[in-house]
Amino acid sequence: MMTHSLLNTRKTLAVLLSALVLNTGCYSAQQVKPAEIPKLNGSFAQPVAQVGNTTVIAVSVARLERPDGTLTEIKGQPKSVIVTLHSGEEIEFDSPVLADAEEEALVLRSENRAKTRILFGDIAKAEVNAYDPGKSMALMLGLGGGTILVGTAILLGFIAGKR
């Protein structure tokens, strides 16, 4: 039989874990041409107005070219930019990232890295890690449904234990 304090502890833990996952959000990596990364300079997502209980948020949109020539849209400020060298080394630049494309090199700097010059010929791939609202919505729906199922199972177990 489950005690009342154990039930409260489990509920508290479930709420905290759900909040952590939901606040983390879901990100997806979009591979882009290295020379396209400077288009992310000045990216933003910020509140601009309050209408009743709703906050209006302005979000920048940058259209970057993928290696296959198609375009991808990066909405808001990306979480990070990851450059993988032909040697296999990955260099991650956390947001905000400032980038410049020179004739033969990509120059990046961010909050976690000083100015870094990388020759285009040394870059195997470049990825932009950006917020993905579709994945976040699926996660929220999945967690919501899972939380309801787990909560119902706990409640039924608790009621059955009292009989």
Q: What is the pLDDT of residues 3-15, one digit of tens each?
A: 555 556 655 655 5
Kindly report whether the global pTM for this prediction surpasses the value 0.75.
no
The DSSP secondary-structure symbol of 113 reads S
**HSE-up (13 A, CA, CB side) for residue 31:** 8
Contact 66, 75 (CB under 8 A): no
Cα–Cα distance measured from residue 93 to residue 83, given in angstroms and rounded to the nearest whole number: 8
What is the predicted pLDDT for the residue at 22? Answer: 46
Question: What average pLDDT does the segment 115-142 reach?
Answer: 78
**Residue ranges of the domains in the chain?**
1-26+132-163, 28-131
Residues 6+ positions from 75 with CB-CB distance below 8 Å: 45, 59, 60, 61, 130, 131, 133
Q: What is the pLDDT of residues 44-58, one digit of tens each?
A: 888 999 999 999 989
The DSSP secondary-structure symbol of 38 reads G
